[in-house]
Amino acid sequence: MSALAPLRLLYFAGLRERLGTAEEAVALPAGIATVGDLMAWQRDRSPAHAAAFAAAARVRCAVNQDFAQAQTPVGAGDEVAFFPPMTGG
């Protein structure tokens, strides 16, 4: 995948509502190598992002539709989704 390919960021449920967006494409920010890095970057984007991502333990993440942890690598072209704990069934 080209280093220029954007990251596709998806947001679901309460996180989508707090941020007012379901999906965005962003250029891979410099120095971002993992989900943990991306979460820290999100918190610096705006007060709304800071609030939405404040409690990292309550934000779940998936990279390319597989559940991810803070240490999971992310790179250009990846689809990264953020969402609250799941409440199906």
Partner 1 sequence: MATIRVQPEDFDLSAEVAALTSGRTDVGGIGCFTGTVRDNPGGRSIAALTLEHYPGMTERAMAQIAAEAERRWSLLGCTLIHRVGRLEPGENIVLVVAVSAHRQAALDATAFLIDWLKTRAPFWKKEIFADGGEAWVAARESDADAAARWGGGA
Task: Work out whether 20 is an interface residue with partner 1 (CB under 8 A).
Answer: no
Q: How many whole angstroms separate alpha carbon 46 and alpha carbon 26? A: 15
- Residue 17 — φ and ψ, nearest 5°? -70, -40
Is the distance from CB of 10 to CB of 79 less than 8 angstroms?
yes
Among 26, 34, 39, 83, binds partner 1 (CB under 8 A): 83
CB of 72 to partner 1, least distance (A): 14
Is the distance from CB of 10 to CB of 19 less than 8 angstroms?
no
Contacting range for partner 1; rule: CB under 8 A; set: 23-31, 33-41, 43-51, 60-68: 60-68
| Total residues interacting with partner 1, rule: CB under 8 A | 15
Task: Work out whether 2 is an interface residue with partner 1 (CB under 8 A).
Answer: no
